Chain A
Amino acid sequence: MSEEPALKDQIRQMIEEHARLAVPIGTLDDDADLFLAGMTSHASVNVMLALEDCFEIEFPESMLRKSTFQSVAAIDAALSELQSVSA
């Protein structure tokens, strides 16, 4: 029986596909700054949309801040907050 990948693994996959980082996401720890690693503002939009598609959520305007998408840990916290609200 297959298991759902861990939330942070899914986040890392979205980042790998859409963030256009200068280095592989696998070389960064959860708290590493994705913008310092090369993610542009426009790429962060793609990450946001990919996360919304994957988790069937929508980031409200109050969460549209740079810090929300700054790291794997930050995204994980934001998704957990959104999922707890919708649960």
Chain B
Amino acid sequence: MTIDDLSVGVDLVDISEVAKSVKRFGDKYLRRVYTEHEIACCQGPPDVAAGSLAARFAAKEATLKVLRPDGARPDWRSIEVVRLPNGSCKLRLRGAAARLAVERGLGPFALSMTHEAGLAAAVVVSGSASDYDGEPIMEGPEP
């Protein structure tokens, strides 16, 4: 693998804006952007939940920067942040996002998220799918 085989995306989200969206649009906002699993992982006091949601939104946007869709962008829910039993998180792509990753020859995807001082950030790095022999990360039907 060379540096040309790597793609990176980064995004930064204002946590207070996510909190406002939850307050203003409620369930409509949550169900349009996040999966059931993500919503379940982002429970708690509003400020805490907003930080977790903002980190996941940043992850979705960072992934889109790696996928570089030419036309319609995949549904936000087709890019899912999955929390593992050990507390770490990984990306799972479905539907249009998964198809785009295959078309671009991308995968696997490495994810790092953080939130602090009112901001949430995520970095996504992808290698070349042809060099990858681990477990499949792109799975499932349309969200």
Which residues of A approach B to under 8 Å, CB–CB? Answer: 20, 40-43, 45-46, 49, 52-53, 61-66
B32 contacts A20, C-beta separation under 8 Å: no
A64 contacts B75, C-beta separation under 8 Å: yes
> Which chain A residues border B25 with CB–CB below 8 Å?
46, 49, 53
Within 8 Å by CB of A49, from B13, B29, B73, lies B29
Q: Is the interface of A mostly helix, strand, loop or mixed?
A: helix
B13 contacts A62, C-beta separation under 8 Å: no
Q: How many residues of B contact A (CB 8 A)?
A: 23
Stretch at the interface among B16-24, B104-112, B133-141: B16-24
| B58-81 to A contact mask, C-beta < 8 Å, 1/0 | 000100000001011111100000
| B17-59 to A contact mask, C-beta < 8 Å, 1/0 | 1101100110011001100000000000000000000000100
B61 contacts A43, C-beta separation under 8 Å: no
Give Cα distance in the complex from A73 to B71, angstroms: 19
Within 8 Å by CB of B33, from A43, A45, A66, lies A45
